[in-house]
Amino acid sequence: MASRTKLSRTRNIGIVAHIDAGKTTVSERILFYTGKSYKMGEVHDGEAVMDWMPQEQERGITITSAVTTCSWANHEIHIIDTPGHVDFTIEVERSLRVLDGAVVVFDAVAGVEPQSETVWHQADKYGVPKVAFINKMDRVGANYSGAILMMRERFNSLPLPIQIPAGEGEEFRGVVDLIGMQLITWDEASKGLTYGYGEIPAGLLPQAQEHRDRMIALLADVDDAIAEKYLDGGEIPGEEIIAALRTATIALKIVPVMCGSALRNKGVQPVLDAVVDFLPSPEDIPPVTGTNPVTKQQETRRSNDREPLAALAFKIMQDEGRKLTYLRVYSGRIHTGDELYNASRGRKEKVARLLKMHANKRERVEEAVAGEIIAVMGLKEITTGDTICDEAHPILLEPIEFYEPVISLAIEAKTPADQEKLTVALGKLVEEDPTLRVKYEDETAQTVISGMGELHLEIITDRLLREFNARVNVGKPRVVHRETIQKRAESEGIFERELGEKRHFGRVRILLEPRGRGEGIEIVRRLAEGTAPPEEFLAAAEEGLHEALLSGVIAGYPVIDVRVVILDAPVKEGEATALGFKIAASAAFREGCLKADAVLLEPIMLVDVMTPTEFMGEVIGDINARRGEVQAIVPKGLVSEIRARVPLKAMFGYSTDLRSATQGRAVFTMQFFAYDSA
């Protein structure tokens, strides 16, 4: 039996899913049943506790991941409710990076939707154990076994149902617990607060028995102790099944599957039991690894408050103008007033306050220990992905990967006073959101903001006005392009000039070669033996090439998928300088691009449309009209899923057109796929 330390009774979990599967509704029920909130907020009323931003309440969606803490069965559960919209994927990515487990919510009617597939793969990437909750069992068309079948087809993990529904659609009245072989029903009058266990109705018993046998047979495949008892034909006690499920879930071999209807207040408490029973505590996860910045050796930190401090800043927020940093503490402890060392920046900073968060409310605490998620005030220089550690035992944890923006928008302040506010506001928003980029264009005197999608930029401009009172004029969204070359070309750059008192000379000959899509940039040296110039000149030439790659010859967009080979760099004694080589290499690159048939690339998006089958013809016709390529059509009962690749430029305003073509019944998601020829 695991030790009953505070750490073993801690769970750090995220609630993740496709947009509209009911994540926030599940979170609200969890807060209500654990006594954290006295009334249930509903997303459709704009009253959800976890959706506290005005933009979230108006749109009925989650935009920013909210952190809260509650307790269940003598366990402390830290929950992050994450967004489902693809424009805010970074929120999910950085949350999964610091969480130990996840509850993945699915819609019983739609099954596995595109964004739920994305978040599942993100969880797999970070090795996060999962439990699945199939929600909306009360809706017409709900199909529990169909949803599980889709999970089997789409994911590497093995979904293992530990419950079956008692009825589906309008007949849904409760769930059958296959471990204890009991029927669980909820009292509607108490909003599901009271629930009871009873006998399984005779009509359901054979089905429940069959599912239980299948559950134990699947569990026997991954657990030797269960396999022995199963083969002997002996009865297996519930505690042993739970222990085996826990081991297999943490080892990422299985995913326990449950069902219910969060909106009808049915099925949420067993999910909390599953979080406690099957998801890992910080003690159950492998020690976190990082690099010692001094020795460059790999080091580990176990989840223990006696080890040296190691924490990762996974989210920055502006709170009434002050910077709030969310940290996941992996080892050691932090006290109010401590001086912390930021290993990523090589700076020391002081903790002003430690706060336990409940969405946007807070509770002051004096210390945070290993395994906790805490908000810190007073850290000024920190950014997302930085490592906080003990200066005597420095460690750099693996940083968080960010996505490149695909869409940009020109904005300009309405008045000079607004310009000042705009500069400050954008600085704060960029700190908060690593997928937001800001660039000032001198020629047009406009500020260009780039992000993950139309909704992302709409929320940013809305926040500029509401939170920072910066009024802006907004241009039309523009696509962020890239450039590349189509053939091999050799070129030479020569720089010879007097600057100040000094004469600078540089000469570089290069070969440009196109690479496959997505293969990136490669700079190689292929100089004849004995002709290589000093290393400082070659390094300067490479620096010049890297700078030249940032703006291509067609429209100044970054150049991608090119191999640059340095063939020759002769030195003129007494006149050759690093500056000369840097400028010569840059000039050679620009000339080479012109010779090598430079071409503009545009972002191609993966578009997933869920449409009632009768509108399939209109939807496919519209995709073709937008220069899209349909990749697959997957029938799912009354609806069909159409997967296509479409240029981003053709997708502006698509949601309105799709709604009018399908009487508002189709939904779509899109995410970046690759850059390709315009």
User: Which of 8, 75, 49 shows the shortest CA–CA distance to 272?
Assistant: 75
8 Å CB contact between 180 and 171: no
Residue 274 contacts by C-beta under 8 Å, 6 or more apart in sequence? 131, 162, 256, 258
State the pTM of this model: 0.69
For 31-42, how does the pLDDT look when each residue is reduced to its tens digit (9 = 90+)? 888 876 544 444
Give the pLDDT confidence score for residue 508 in this predicted structure.
Answer: 93
Q: Measured on CA atoms in the order 189, 194, 199, 200, is the torsion positive or negative?
A: positive
Give the pLDDT confidence score for residue 540 in this predicted structure.
Answer: 93
Distances (CA, A) of 327 to 324, 371, 383, 517, 549: 10, 10, 11, 37, 36
| DSSP for residue 99 | -
Number of alpha carbons in the 13 Å side-chain half-sphere of residue 569: 32
Give the pLDDT confidence score for residue 115 in this predicted structure.
Answer: 66
Q: Tokens standing for 100? A: 């130990």
More confident residue, 95 or 608: 608
Average pLDDT over residues 398-403: 72
Q: 45 pLDDT band (50/70/90 cuts)?
A: very low
Instruction: Name the phi and psi angles at 236, rounded to 5.
Output: -105, 120
Candidate ranges 37-41, 168-172, 258-262, 288-292; pick with highest mean pLDDT = 258-262
Q: Tokens standing for 261? A: 């209807």
Q: 589 pLDDT band (50/70/90 cuts)?
A: very high
Distances (CA, A) of 271 to 2, 66, 195, 266, 552: 21, 19, 14, 10, 53
| DSSP for residue 111 | B
Candidate ranges 37-51, 298-312, 358-372; pick with highest mean pLDDT = 298-312
Q: Tokens standing for 239? A: 């505690």
Cα(596)–Cα(491) distance, integer angstroms: 10
Is pLDDT of 593 > 80?
A: yes
Give the pLDDT confidence score for residue 50 in this predicted structure.
Answer: 43
Is pLDDT of 399 > 80?
A: no
8 Å CB contact between 585 and 495: no
Which residue is it, tokens 């920055």?
316
Which residue is it, tokens 């529904």?
165
What is the share, in percent, of the chain residues with pLDDT greater than 90?
26
295-318 core/surface letters (b: 16 or more CB in 10 A; e: else): eeeebebbbbbebbbbbbbbbbbb
Cα(348)–Cα(407) distance, integer angstroms: 36
Burial class, 10, CB count within 10 angstroms (exposed 0-12 / middle 13-18 / buried 19+): buried
Q: Tokens standing for 187? A: 């009292």
Give the pLDDT confidence score for residue 555 in this predicted structure.
Answer: 86
Q: 82 pLDDT band (50/70/90 cuts)?
A: low
Is pLDDT of 441 > 80?
A: no
Torsion of CA 580, 581, 587, 593, to 10 degrees: 180
User: Which of 452, 446, 457 shows the shortest CA–CA distance to 671?
Assistant: 452
Of 88-102, 245-259, 360-374, 407-421, the one with minimum mean pLDDT is 88-102
More confident residue, 24 or 555: 555
Is pLDDT of 537 > 50?
A: yes
Cα(453)–Cα(87) distance, integer angstroms: 5
Candidate ranges 87-101, 342-356, 657-671; pick with highest mean pLDDT = 342-356
- Any bridge partners for residue 350, and if so which? 339
Of 136-145, 298-307, 394-403, 498-507, the one with minimum mean pLDDT is 394-403
| DSSP for residue 332 | S
Is pLDDT of 18 > 80?
A: no
Residue 289 contacts by C-beta under 8 Å, 6 or more apart in sequence? 298, 299, 300, 397, 398
Give the pLDDT confidence score for residue 495 in this predicted structure.
Answer: 92
Q: Indicate the length of the chain as a whole number.
A: 678
Q: How far is CA 85 from the centre of its chain?
A: 10
Beta strands 407-413 and 373-377 are unpaired
Is pLDDT of 65 > 70?
A: no
8 Å CB contact between 123 and 102: yes
Give the pLDDT confidence score for residue 48 in this predicted structure.
Answer: 43
Give the pLDDT confidence score for residue 582 in this predicted structure.
Answer: 93
Give the pLDDT confidence score for residue 576 in this predicted structure.
Answer: 85
Give the pLDDT confidence score for residue 53 in this predicted structure.
Answer: 46
Q: How many Cβ atoms are within 10 Å of 187's Cβ, its own excluded?
A: 12
Residue 291 contacts by C-beta under 8 Å, 6 or more apart in sequence? 297, 298, 299, 395, 396
Give the pLDDT confidence score for residue 89 in this predicted structure.
Answer: 59
Give the pLDDT confidence score for residue 49 in this predicted structure.
Answer: 41
- For residue 235, give the 3-state DSSP assignment: coil
Is pLDDT of 87 > 70?
A: no
Burial class, 526, CB count within 10 angstroms (exposed 0-12 / middle 13-18 / buried 19+): exposed
| DSSP for residue 551 | S
Give the pLDDT confidence score for residue 289 in this predicted structure.
Answer: 87
8 Å CB contact between 316 and 323: yes
User: Which of 400, 347, 356 shows the shortest CA–CA distance to 376?
Assistant: 356
Give the pLDDT confidence score for residue 134 in this predicted structure.
Answer: 93
Cα(187)–Cα(284) distance, integer angstroms: 36
Please give the mean pLDDT across all residues of the chain: 83
Q: Measured on CA atoms in the order 257, 263, 266, 269, is the torsion positive or negative?
A: positive
- Any bridge partners for residue 159, and if so which? 255
DSSP 311-330: EEEEEEEEETTEEEEEEEEE
Q: Tokens standing for 111? A: 């099954």
